Structure 1
Amino acid sequence: MILVPAIDIINGQCVRLTKGDYGSKKVYNEFPVEVAKAFEGAGLTHVHVVDLDGARAKHIVNAKVLEQIATQTSLQVDFGGGIKTETDLQTAFDCGASQVTLGSVAVIEPELVREWLEKFGAEQLILGADAKNRRIATHGWEQDSGLDVIDFIIEYAQKGFEYVLCTDVAKDGMLAGPSLELYYEILEQLPELSLIASGGVTSMDDIYQCAELGCTAAIIGKAIYENKLSLKELERYQTEQM
C-alpha cells in the first residue's frame, strides 16, 4: 500500500482543517514546497495536494503551488480542489499533476466527467467520494448532495473509474482512526477497485489495517503535522513494501 502525505493549501500556505471546517484552519508552514521536499527526503513517492481555496471558489486558485511542488520535487502529485471545467483540469495537468481528483463536479456534471474519463483515461483521474453521514458532500464539504456514498462509487466504477479516494468527513483531522467499516463495505462490493483511504489515519496500526482491507493507498495529513506519525515510520513502512 502506498502512503500519501497530504498538503492542503489556503492562501498559498500549508494548512489543516478539522472535519473540513474552514474556521478550524491551522497553518503549519508558509511554504508548501518545503513540506513536499521533506516528504521526498523521507523516501515517500506521492503527495496529495488539495486547493482548499479552489474548492470554495469553484476554480483552481493555487496552481502556482502545484507547479512548484511538481517541478521542484520528483513526487507524483494527486491534485484536487476547484476542478469544475476542462480548463481547470488541463491547468492541473499542465502544472504537473500526475492524477487529478474529481469531487463536486462528479456530482453536478456526471456527463462531463464521463467525457473526461474517455479523453484523459482512468489512470489520470480519481473519483473523490467525500462522505458525511454516508452521503456525498460537495463544495469543500459544505453541501450535502443526498447521494449514498456506496451507490455513488458503484455508479462511477461502472462508468470506468478505477481509482476512488474516499474520505469520511467525520474522521478528517480528528486523529481517531479511519473509517474501516466503510472501506470494508466498498471493497466487498468492488474488490477490484483501487481504493484510497482518507481521513483519520493516525497510527501505524491504522496503516496496517487499511492495507489488510485491500486499500491501494492511504492519505495521511494531520497525523504527520501533529507528530502522531513520524516521517521515519512512514519511510520504514514504504521500505518494507519494496
Structure 2
Amino acid sequence: MITIIPAIDIIEGQCVRLTQGDYAQVKIYAKNPTDVAKQYEDMGITRLHVVDLDGAKSSAPKNLKILESIAVKTSLKVQWGGGVKSTQSLSDVFNAGARYAICGSIAVSDGQLFNEWLEKFSGAKIILGADVRNGRVAVNGWQEDVELSAADLIGSFASLEQVICTDIGRDGMLQGANCELYRELQAAFPAVEIIASGGISDMGDIEELDAQGTRAVVVGKAIYEGRITVKDLKQWLLRG
C-alpha cells in the first residue's frame, strides 16, 4: 500500500506552497511548521517531507532550527531537502534530526561526491531528488534545467534505494499526478523506491498511483486546500 507523505515547504520560517516551483508565486498557509507537523502526527502520519526553499535558493540549509524543533517535538521521520550541497551541510541536516536527506543538484554537479555520500551514510538515508520539467532534470531550486532525464540521473547511481521525482510542471497545480512517469521509472528501477510528487489533486490520484505499484507519494497543496481532508488521511491510514 502506498505511503502518503505530507509536505511542508518553508520560506522565512513559514509553511508555503509555490506554483510550478516559481518563487514569485508564493502562498503562505501557516506560520508555524512545527504545529503543522504535530497535526500530521496526531492523524497517524509517520513520515514528513520538508523542503527548505530558502536553502534551495541559497545553496545551503537555512531553516535547520525548524528541523530541530520538529525532531524534538514529534516522532515523525523527516525527509529534508534544500541546499544540501556539501558534506558539512549533509551532516548538519542529520545532526538536526532528519531521518533522510534529499539531494538533487549535487548529484548532477558532483556525482563522485554524491556516490561517496551513498556509501558513507547508506542509500537508506540519502534520497536522490530527480525533479523534472518537460522531461529534463532541474537543479538549484528548480531554477536551472540540465540535459538529463530522470532515468539518466537515476541510472548513474547503483546503490540508490530511494528517489523522489517531482513533475515541476504539475507541482502546485492540482491537475493530477504524472502517473505514467512514475510507472515507467518504477519499472525501469525495480530495486529503487520511487516517490511520486507534484500535481496530486485528490484521493483518486493516490488510489491510481497505489494501483500501479508506486510505493510512496508526497502530498502538499491538496491537503492545504482541503481537496484531501483529515478524514481522508485517517481512513487511508486505517486501510493500511
CA RMSD of aligned residues (A): 0.8
Q: CA deviation at 1:211?
A: 1.2
Q: Say which SS state the counterpart of residue 47 (structure 1) adopts.
A: strand
Q: Distance in 2 between the 1:232 and 1:97 partners?
A: 28
Q: Distance in 1 between the 2:197 and 2:217 partners?
A: 6
Q: Say which SS state the counterpart of residue 232 (structure 2) adopts.
A: helix
Q: Deviation string for 1:142-173 (max 9, x for gaps)?
A: 101111221111222xx210100000000100
Q: CA deviation at 1:239?
A: 1.4
**What is the percent sequence identity of the aligned residues?**
46
Structure-to-structure mapping, 1:28-39, within 5 angstroms = 28-39=29-40
Q: Distance in 2 between the 1:231 and 1:145 partners?
A: 38
Letter in 2 for 1:77: V
Structure 1: runs of 5 or more not aligned = none
Q: CA deviation at 1:192?
A: 2.5
1:216 matched residue in structure 2: 215
* Corresponding position: 1:98 with 2:99: yes
Structure-to-structure mapping, 1:153-232, within 5 angstroms = 153-156=154-157, 159-232=158-231
| Aligned residues between the structures | 239
Letter in 2 for 1:109: D
Q: Deviation string for 1:59-89 (max 9, x for gaps)?
A: 0100001111111111110000000101110
Q: 70-79 or 210-219: which moved more? A: 210-219
Letter in 2 for 1:186: L
2:71 matched residue in structure 1: 70
Q: Distance in 2 between the 1:24 and 1:42 partners?
A: 29
Q: Distance in 2 between the 1:201 and 1:231 partners?
A: 16
Q: Distance in 2 between the 1:92 and 1:216 partners?
A: 25
Q: Distance in 2 between the 1:134 and 1:60 partners?
A: 27
1:41 matched residue in structure 2: 42
Letter in 2 for 1:49: V
| Alignment check: 8 A CA contact 1:199 1:220 kept | yes
Runs ≥4 in structure 1, deviation > 4 angstroms?
Answer: none
Q: CA deviation at 1:235?
A: 1.6
Q: Say which SS state the counterpart of residue 4 (structure 1) adopts.
A: strand
Q: CA deviation at 1:234?
A: 1.0
Q: CA deviation at 1:191?
A: 2.1
| Alignment check: 8 A CA contact 2:174 2:221 kept | yes
Letter in 1 for 2:173: M
2:90 matched residue in structure 1: 89
Q: CA deviation at 1:204?
A: 1.0
Q: Distance in 2 between the 1:213 and 1:103 partners?
A: 25
Q: Say which SS state the counterpart of residue 4 (structure 2) adopts.
A: strand
| Alignment check: 8 A CA contact 2:175 2:201 kept | yes
1:121 matched residue in structure 2: 122
2:23 matched residue in structure 1: 22
Letter in 2 for 1:220: V
Q: Say which SS state the counterpart of residue 147 (structure 2) adopts.
A: strand
Q: Deviation string for 1:152-208 (max 9, x for gaps)?
A: 11222xx21010000000010000111111111112212222110000112111111
1:145 matched residue in structure 2: 146
Q: Distance in 2 between the 1:235 and 1:103 partners?
A: 31
1:135 matched residue in structure 2: 136
Q: CA deviation at 1:17?
A: 0.3
Q: Say which SS state the counterpart of residue 5 (structure 1) adopts.
A: strand
Q: Deviation string for 1:211-240 (max 9, x for gaps)?
A: 122222100000011111012211210110
2:51 matched residue in structure 1: 50
